[in-house]
Structure 1
Amino acid sequence: MKQKLSIIKIGGNVIENEDELAKFLQSFAQLEGLKILVHGGGKLATQLASQLGIESKMFQGRRITDAASLKIITMVYAGLTNKNIVAQLQAKQCNAIGLTGADGNTIEAYKRPVRDIDFGFVGDVEKVDATIINQLLSIGLTPVFCAMTHNTHGQLLNTNADTIASEIAIAMSAIFETTLYYCFEKKGVLMNVNDDNSVVTDINSESYEKLLLENIIADGMLPKMENCFHALKNEVNKVCIGDTQMLNPDANLFTTLTL
Structure 2
Amino acid sequence: MKDKLSIVKIGGNVIENKEELAKFLNFFSQLKGAKILVHGGGKLATQLAAKLGIESQMVNGRRVTDAKSLEIITMVYGGLTNKNIVASLQAKGTNAIGLSGADGNAIQAHKRPVKEVDFGFVGDIDGINATFLNTLITTGVTPVFCALSHDGEGNILNTNADTIASEVAIGMSKIYETTLYYCFEKKGVLLDIKNENSVVTDINTSKYQELLEQKIIADGMLPKLENCFHALHNNVNKVCLGDIEMIQPNAKLFTSITL
TM range (shorter): over 0.9
CA distance in 2 between partners of 1:245 and 1:99 (Å): 25
Matches for 1:50-129 after TM superposition, within 5 Å: 50-129=50-129
Q: Which residue of 1 aligns with 2:5?
A: 5
Equivalents in 2 of 1:117, 1:209: separation in Å?
27
* 1:183 and 2:183 correspond: yes
The alignment partner of 2:219 has SS state of coil
Aligned to 1:209: 209
Deviations 1:6-33 (A, max 9, x none): 0000010000110000000000000000
Matching residue's letter, 2:9: K
Q: Which amino acid aligns with 1:59?
A: V
Q: Map Cα deviations across residues 209-251 of structure 1 (whole Å, 9 max, x no partner).
A: 1111222111111100000000000000010000011111121
Cα distance per residue 1:68-104 (max 9 Å; x no partner): 0000000000000000000000000000000000000
**What is residue 47 of structure 1 aligned with on the other side?**
47
2:197 alignment counterpart: 197
Q: SS of 1:5's equivalent?
A: strand
- 1:247 maps to 247
Q: Mind listing any 5+ residue stretches in structure 2 that lack a counterpart?
A: none
Deviation at 1:113, TM superposition (A): 0.3
CA distance in 1, matches of 2:51, 2:3: 46
TM-score, normalized by length of structure 1?
A: 0.99
Which amino acid counterpart does residue 220 of structure 2 have in structure 1?
G
Superposition deviation, residue 117 in structure 1: 1.2
**Is 2:20 the partner of 1:28?**
no
For residues 242 and 115 of structure 1, the distance between their equivalents in structure 2, rounded to whole angstroms, comes to 33
Which 4+ residue blocks in structure 1 deviate beyond 2 angstroms? none
Offset, 1:177: 0.4
Report deviation, 1:204. Answer: 1.0
Alignment pair present for 1:133 and 2:133: yes
SS at match of 1:181: strand
**What code does the residue aligned with 2:113 have?**
P
- Please report the TM-score for the alignment, with normalisation by the length of structure 2: 0.99
State the secondary structure of the residue aligned to 2:25: helix
Superposed CA offset, 1:114-141 (max 9, x none): 0011110000001101110000000000
Stretch of structure 1 that moved more, 206-215 or 72-81: 206-215
Residue equivalent to 1:149: 149
1:111 partner amino acid: K
Partner of 1:53, secondary structure, is coil
Aligned partners of 1:109, 1:33: CA distance in 2, in Å?
Answer: 29
In 2, distance between residues paired with 1:219 and 1:153? 34
Aligned to 2:38: 38
**Aligned-pair RMSD on alpha carbons?**
0.6
Unaligned runs of 5+ in 1: none
CA–CA separation in structure 2 for the residues paired with 1:158 and 1:45: 12
Partner amino acid, structure 2, of 1:29:
S
Structure 2 SS opposite 1:191: coil
- Helix, strand or coil at the partner of 1:110: strand
Give the share of equivalent positions with the same residue, in percent: 70
What is the letter of the counterpart of residue 200 of structure 1? V
**3-state SS of 1:193 partner:** coil
SS at match of 2:211: helix
Deviations 1:178-223 (A, max 9, x none): 0000000000000111111000011111211111122211111110
